[in-house]
Amino acid sequence: MEMEERIVVNPKIMVGKPIIKGTRIPVDAILKRLADGMSISDILEEYPNITEEDIRAVLTYVSEVIAGEQIIPMVETA
């Protein structure tokens, strides 16, 4: 599964913050935990409904946004 399938933006969920698909876990929450020194294993214990691939997708998303190469478009809502 590619990063674009794991990280989504929907203005009706978490005020449009990028989140891990199928959750209400924002990308910045995972990034903050990594920056605070939490291991991937610790994060997976805290959030048992996500996978290591989801965490790697967070890192890919953030690196591409910072590099100015990728922004996930918002999900259309009706």
pLDDT at 14: 92
The residue among 51, 13, 2 whose CA lies nearest residue 43 is 51
pTM: 0.82
3-23 confidence digits (pLDDT tens):
778 999 999 999 999 999 999
Give the chain's domains with CATH numbers: 3-67 (1.10.10.10)
Per-residue pLDDT of the chain (78 residues; tens, 9 = 90+): 687 789 999 999 999 999 999 999 999 999 999 999 999 999 999 999 999 999 999 999 999 888 886 666 666 665
CA distances from 33 to 16, 30, 36 (A): 20, 5, 5
CA distances from 14 to 9, 19, 27, 29, 39 (A): 9, 8, 11, 12, 25
| CB under 8 A, 24+ apart: contacts of 64-70 | 64/3, 70/3
